[in-house]
Amino acid sequence: MIKEIKFTDKALKQINVLLSRKDKGSFFRIAIKGGGCSGFQYEFSFEKEKSKDDLNFENILIDKTSADLLKGSEIDYVSELIGEQFKITNPQTKSSCGCGVSFSL
């Protein structure tokens, strides 16, 4: 399933940079949580252990529910005037808020 999510080279490089600052064996987690002004928001965090329902791509963890909602997405790392951030282009979103932090499905 995680094969259906594309990571750009910039995103993978930044994830590895961030993980290099954490304890050895840490994982980078990408999840979709309820919240924000549009209903859902992306969450990025670090984990020490995998859960049994996690999908694993290199050192990246995504739970199965979030992976379903991310299907067909591209995860990139961009530098813009407002700063640097991970940017997810998700074909399943119907709308997003003005700041781009939350979205609806």
% residues pLDDT > 70 (the chain) = 84
What global pTM score does this model have? 0.85
Residue 105: the pLDDT is 67
Residue 8: exposure state from Cβ atoms within 10 A (0-12, 13-18, ≥19): middle
List, in sequence order, every beta strand (DSSP E) within the chain: 6-7, 27-34, 40-47, 54-57, 60-63, 74-80, 83-89, 95-96, 102-104
Domains of the chain in sequence order: 2-94 (2.60.300.12)
**3-state SS assignment for residue 32:** strand
Residue 96: per-residue pLDDT:
67
Weakly modelled stretches of the chain, pLDDT under 50: 1
Per-residue confidence (pLDDT) for residue 45, from 0 to 100: 96
